[in-house]
Amino acid sequence: MKSVTASIDKIALVLLSLFVAQGIAHASADQPREMRFKKVMKEVKDPPASFRPAPLWVWNTDVTKEDIDRMLNEFKEQGFGGAFVHPRPGLITDYLSEDWFALYAYSLEVAERLGLDIWIYDENSYPSGFAGGHVPAQMPESYNQGQGLRLEKMNRLPENVKEYFLCLKREGDAFIDITSTSDRYKETEGEYYLYKKTYHGRSKWYGGFSYVDLLYPGVTRKFIDVTMSGYEKQFGKKLGTEIKGIFTDEPHVASPGGARWTPDLFDLFREQWGYDLKTALPLLDETEANYKQVRHNYMRTLTQLFIDRWSKPWFEYTEKKNMRWTGHYWEHGWPDLSHGGDNMAMYAWHQMPAIDMLFNQFNDTNPQAQFGNVRSVKELSSVANQMGYTRTLSETYGGGGWDVTFEDLKRLGDWEYALGVNFMNQHLSHMTIVGARKYDYPPVFTSLSPWWSNYKRLNDYFARLSLLLSQGEQVNNTLILEPTTTLWLYYSYSTRHPKVMEIGSNFQHFITKLEKAQVEYDLGSENIIKDRGSVKRGSFVVGKRAYSQVVIPPMTENLNKETFKLLKAFVEAGGELIAFSKPTLVDGQENAALERFFADNPSLLKSYSDASFGEVIDALSRNDKLYFTHVESDDLYHHRRSYHDGELLFLVNSSLSDTATGTLSIVGQSLMEIEGMSGDLYDYPCERKGEFLEAGFSIPPAGSLILFSSSSSGDKYKVKAGAIEGDKNRINPRKSSIHKANTEMAEGVRMEAAGPLNIKRLQPNVLNIDFCSVAIDGTFLTNSYGDKNLYTVEAASGLYRHFSIDNPWSSAIQYRQTIVESDTFKTGDVKVTYHFTVAGEIDLKGIRLVAEQPNLWGVTINNVPVSPLPGESWLDARFGVYEIGEYLKMGVNVVELSVMPMSIYAEVAPVYILGDFALESAPHGWILREPVTTLRLGSWKEQGQPYYSWDVAYSKDYVIEDTSARYTLQLTKWKGTLAEVWVNDAKVGIIACQPYRFDLSPHVREGSNKIEVRVIGSLKNLLGPHYNQSQGIAGPGHWNGVHLHKAGSDYNLIDYGLMEDFTVTSSMP
C-alpha cells in the first residue's frame, strides 16, 4: 500500500480538475426570485398556484376521466396548486401505455382549465430507476452483472472455488489475488478471502424483475428514455411549460449483500487513487492497517459514480427541457451510508432539491428520525442557498395515520418550513381506498377524510409561507462542515462500526443545540466544496454563498484534500475557522501538513461540551441583523430572509405543551405581522433601540409568528384584535405576554346561554365488520389457530394464496398488463360471509350496508339478494350502498359476498352497517343496540359511537345585546382533528390550534344567536389500525398479524368528542 500512495495526490488532483470543470459546465441557470417585499405582499392573500401545495396524486386503480375530473376539482376547491401524478400499488391501468398517456393528457387539459400545475413522478411506485419493469426488461445488463461482493473467510479453499468471483490470500500485511491460480492453493492452509457476486433479487414489487444498478453505465440513460419518450411524443413543448417538472423517489445504490460493486469499479478506482481496490477489498470489512484510507477512497468513488451516472444525466435532461428535477434520496439513513455516500452532494444536481418527512412522531435526538431531524432539513436548505435554488420540496405527512389533527399538520409543516422547506408536497392523495389501498400509509388528502372541507385553510397558510420563504434570500455567514467523510472511514456494508452512530448522534446533538439557540448557519458537503468551493476576499465561498466563519464540528477526523487546501487559504486570508475537533487525516491518510496547520494555529481549536455550550453560542451567534434575548423555550426555531426593503422573520414553537416567549431585536424602521392564516397585515408593537427594533413575542404551543421589519418607517397597519397599540406586554414578555393578554380577553365576562346544550350526531352511525369467513368451493379457509373467523386482511391474503398468488394490489406493481392478464380463473366459487347481531329496539328500515366493488361481488343479506343503489356511494366512489333494513331480524344477521369464478380483483375487505343505532362491546366485536336518545358531553365511543369519524354538533343559544363588544368562544377539554364554528347556521371558521379560541364578534347579531361547535373526528376509528398500539405511524404492516377477534372494548380507538362545555365570553373591544 505505501508504495503506491505517493502517486495518489497527483492523480486525484487531475481528476478533481475534470470534475470541477464538469460541475461548472452543468451549473444551473440562476433561478429568479423577487427581492422587493412590497411586491411579494401583493400576492400574500392569494398566492399563485406555483406556491401552493401539490400532493402526490395516487393513481392506484383502473383510472377514469371521471376520477380525474372529480379529484382535480376537489384539489382546486381546497387550495392546492397542482399535483404529482404518482403510480402506486393497486394501479390497473397499464403504466406508460397509450391509455396512460391519454389519461395524463386529460389531466393536463382539466388542470389547465382549473389553473393547476401537473408534474411527472418518474416511477411506477418506488424506488426510481426500473421504470415499472421496463428498464430490466429492455436492458438485462442493468441487473444481471451483480451489484455486491460478499466476503467469505476460509482457512482452506473449497472444492467450488471457481464459483467465486474473486479469491484473495493474506500474505503478511498484504493480500494477493489468486483468482486465476486458485488450483495451486487447494491443499494449502491459509487466510483466504473469497468473494461472490450478489444480485438484487427478483420481486413482484419490481414487476417480477429486480432493481437495477444505477452505477452501471447507461442505466440512467435507458431509464430516462423509457420513462420520458412517451411524454415527449405525447406532449412535446408542454414539457417545461404545462408540465413543470419531474419527481424522483428514493433511488439508491444499496448492496444486495457485501460491499457495493459494479463492473468497472476496480478500473475507476485505480485510475483515481493509483492502487488496486481488489487486493485492498478486505479492508472494507477488517479494521487494520490502512483501512480508513481504503474506505474513504472507496466511498468517495461510489459517491462520485452515483452523481455522474444518475444525477448528472437527469440534471442535463431537465435543464434541456426547462423542467425542474425534484425528489429525494435516503436522507434519513445518515449516518448509515448504505443507500448513498453523501445526500447533500446529490441535491446540488436538482433544480428543486427535496426530502421526505414522514409519520407523526417528533424526535430531535435520533439522527435517523423524521420530524425533529434538524440535519435532514438543513442539508436541503443549505444546498439550495449555495446553489441559488429558490424552491425546496418536502414530501410530508406520509404514514402519520388517519388520526393526524390540523394542529399536527400545522406544527410539523411549520417546523420544516422554519428550517428551509418551501414547497409542501402531501403524501398521499389516493384515487381509491378499495381493498389493501386503505392501508397504504394514511392520512389521505382527499374528500374521504372527514376534515377535507376545511383543508383549504391549511393549504392557503402553507402557500403564503412558500411564497414568503422562497423569495428574498437566506444569507447565513457560518458554514458547518458535515462530517460525512469522517463516517466514510468507519462505514462498511457488511459490519456495523459503533463509531458511525456515535459520530452521527454527536453531530445531530451539536447542530440541534445550535438551531435551538437561534444560531444561523449552513451545512457544508465536502463533495460540493470540491466542485464549487473557493476563497475570495477573505470569505470561504461555496457556490453562491460566501462565509466569514467556518466550523469543524466535534469528532471530525478527516478532511478531503480540496477542503483542507481551501481552509488553509481561508485562514491565511484572515477568515475565522473554529475547530471543535482536530482532524488528522486527509483523504483517509495521516497528513503532516494538516498536523502542522493546527500546530501553527492553536487558537483555532475550541472545546465543546454541554458545560461550555454558552461559549460555543457566543462564538457562533454574532449577527448584525437579528438577535434574541430572554428566550424561554427549548422548541423555538426561526428562519430569517433578507429582502432589499427589509428582513422577514418566521418564528415557530414546536412544543405541544409550552408557550415560547422571549425578546427579539431586528434591524429596521417599522415592524409588521403577517397573519399566516389570513394574509392580513398588522402593526406589531416594538421599541427602537439604535438601529434595532426590540419586540417581545409569546407563541402558543404549535404556534407560529411571521414578522417583517421594514427598512422604511412609512408603512402603517391596523393593530391586531386583542392588542393595544404600543402595548408594553408585547414588547417585554418578561412582564407579561401576548398569551396572557389573550387569556385575559377570553376570560372577560362569561355569558350564560339562553338554553341547554344540544348535541347531535350529523351523519349515520357505523359498524365496521372486520372479521369474516371465506369458503372456496364449499371449503373454509382457516388461520394458523385453526379458526375460520378471519380478520379481513388475513382473509384477503388467504384467498389469493389459495390460488398460489399474493395479493397483487398490495404487494406488487404491474409490468405492462401481466396482473390483469392473469385474470383467467375458470374455477373458484368464492363466498365471503360476515355476521352482525341486532339486540336492541332499532328502526331497521333506515339500516344500510356498504360493500366495496359492487360491480364485482354479488351480495345477499340473510340469503336475500340485494342490489346496490344506482348512483350512490359512501366514503369511496367504489363503495356500493345497499338498502337492507327490510331483510334484517333480531339476533344474528348474515351478509354474504360471492364471486364465481375467482377474480384477480376479488380483494376481501370489511363491510359496513350504517344507521341510527348504538354499538355495545361484545366478546367478539360489537352488537347493535337501540340508539342513544340524548348524547352527552364526553367520548363518542363511550356512548355507542366507537367507529364514528365525522362531525358532532354542540350548540347553544346566546342573547347578544351589545354588538360593539368582543365575543370569544373558548374550548377547554376536547378531542378532534379540528372543530368548526357555526353562528346562526353558517360556518364562520375553525378551531384547530391552541389556545383553542375563536373571535365571534364579526359574526353575531343583536338578539338571539345560535352558537355551534362541530367537533370532527378521523378515519382512525373507522379504518384503524385497531389491533396495533403504535402511535404516530401507520403503514400496511400495522394492519397485519391479526388472528384473533377481540372484544370491541379492546379495540385501539380514540376518545373523540367535547369533554367539557364550550364557553362564550364578552369583553370591551
CA–CA separation, 169 vs 774, rounded Å?
A: 59
- 3-state class (DSSP) for residue 310: helix
Is 230 contained in some domain?
Answer: no
840-867 residue pLDDT tens: 899 999 999 999 999 999 999 999 999 9
User: What CATH number is given to the structural domain containing 731?
Assistant: 2.60.40.1180
- Distance between terminal CA atoms of the chain? 81
Of 134, 164, 198, the residue at which a domain comes to its end is 198
**Are 901 and 781 found together in one domain?**
yes
- Burial profile 933-961: b = 16 or more Cβ within 10 angstroms, e = fewer: eebeeebbbebbbbbbbbbbbbbbebebe
Domain boundary among 198, 227, 257: 198
Segment 318-337 shows an average pLDDT of 98
Domain assignment present for 817? yes
Tell me if the bond preceding 428 is cis, omega within 30° of 0.
yes
Which residues on neighbouring strands pair with residue 570, listed in sequence order?
A: none
The confidence score (pLDDT) of residue 609 equals 78
Q: Is pLDDT at 18 greater than 50 in this prediction?
A: no
> Does 770 lie in the same domain as 839?
yes
What pLDDT is attached to residue 29? 58
Query: Is 178 within a domain?
Result: yes
Q: Give long-range contacts, CB 8 A cutoff, 24+ apart: 634-638.
A: 634/516, 635/516, 635/660, 636/516, 636/518, 636/660, 636/662, 636/699, 637/415, 637/418, 637/419, 637/515, 637/516, 638/418, 638/518
Give me the residue label for grid cell 392523495: 429
Question: What are the contacts of 62-70 at 24+ separation with CB within 8 A?
Answer: 62/92, 62/93, 63/91, 63/92, 63/93, 63/103, 63/431, 65/103, 65/106, 66/877, 67/431, 67/432, 67/877, 68/103, 68/106, 68/107, 68/110, 69/110, 70/877
Contacts of 904 (CB under 8 A, 6+ apart): 808, 819, 820, 822, 823, 825
Q: Where are the beta strands (DSSP E) in 17-140?
A: 56-59, 82-87, 117-121
Q: What is the mean pLDDT of residues 780-804?
A: 96
Residues 246 and 131: beta-carbon distance below 8 Å? no
Q: Is residue 1020 part of a domain?
A: no
| CB-CB neighbours of 894 under 10 Å | 12
Cell 486527509 found at = 586
Q: What percent of the chain has pLDDT over 70?
A: 95
Distance CA 1034, CA 1024 (A): 9
316: its cell numbers: 442535463
Any idea what the CATH number is for the domain that residue 816 is in?
2.60.120
Whether residue 591 is found in the same domain as residue 637: no
CA max distance for the chain: 105
User: Is 1002 in contact with 780 (CB distance < 8 Å)?
Assistant: no
Which grid coordinates are listed for 621? 451567534
* 809 and 914 inside one domain: yes
Exposed e or buried b for every residue in 525-542, given b needs 16+ CB within 10 A?
Answer: bbbbbbbbbebeeebbbb
Please, which pLDDT band fits residue 21 given cuts at 50, 70 and 90? very low
| Same domain membership, residue 801 and residue 710 | no
CA angle in degrees (0–180, nearest 5) for 878-881-883: 165
645 and 592 within one domain: no
Structure confidence at residue 30 (pLDDT): 66
Residue 646 sits in the same domain as residue 774: no
Query: For residue 893, what are the β-bridge partners?
Result: 836
Q: Is the pLDDT of residue 723 over 70?
A: no
Q: Identify whether 994 is part of a domain.
A: no
Judgement on whether residues 565 and 521 belong to the same structural domain of the protein: yes
pLDDT at 28: 56
pLDDT at 6: 36
Say whether both 560 and 688 belong to one domain: no
User: What was the pLDDT predicted at 613?
Assistant: 80
- Tell me, what's the pLDDT at 306? 99
**In this predicted model, what pLDDT tens digit does every residue of 279-307 receive, in sequence order?**
999 999 999 989 999 999 999 999 999 99
Which amino acid would we find at residue 638?
H
Q: Is residue 465 part of a domain?
A: no
**Strand 478-481 and strand 522-524: pairing?**
parallel
Q: Is 514 exposed, middle or buried (0-12, 13-18, 19+ CB in 10 A)?
A: buried
Interhelix angle 98-114/65-77, rounded to 10 degrees, is 30
Asked if the structure places residue 304 within a domain, the reply is no
Residues in CB range of 632: below 8 A, 6 or more apart: 660, 661, 662
Same domain? For 772 and 681 the reply is no
Asked if the structure places residue 354 within a domain, the reply is no
Query: Does the structure show a pLDDT above 60 at 521?
Result: yes
CATH number at residue 558: 3.40.50
Of 566, 588, 619, which marks where a domain is finished?
Answer: 619
Give pLDDT, residue 732. Answer: 52
What whole-number distance in Å separates Cα of residue 965 and Cα of residue 953?
26
Into how many domains does the chain fold? 4
312 three-class SS? helix
Alpha helices in 42-139 (DSSP H): 65-77, 98-114, 134-138
Mean pLDDT for the stretch of residues 393-416: 99
Sequence-ordered list of residues with C-beta below 8 angstroms from that of 806, at least 6 positions apart, any chain: 204, 797, 800, 812
Q: What is the pLDDT of residue 14?
A: 35
pLDDT, the chain, mean: 94
Mean pLDDT of 600-615: 84
Domain limits at 792?
766-918
Residue 746 has pLDDT above 70, yes or no: no
Question: Mind listing the pLDDT tens digit for each residue in 799-854?
Answer: 999 999 999 999 899 999 999 999 999 999 999 999 999 998 999 999 999 999 99
Mean pLDDT across the stretch 514-520? 97
Preceding amide of 1002 cis, omega within 30: no
Residue 878: pLDDT above 80? yes
DSSP tally for the chain: helices H, then strands E:
24, 58
CA atoms of 734 and 403, how far apart (whole Å): 37
Contact 434, 63 (CB under 8 A): no
Residue type at 868 in one-letter notation:
P
Assess contact for 245 and 351: CB atoms under 8 A: yes
Q: CA-CA distances (angstroms) from residue 1026 to 832, 945, 1056?
A: 21, 15, 15
Q: Is residue 488 predicted with pLDDT exceeding 50?
A: yes
CA-CA distance, 521 to 474, in Å (whole number)?
Answer: 10
Query: By C-alpha distance, which of 303, 314, 309 is closest to 342?
Result: 303
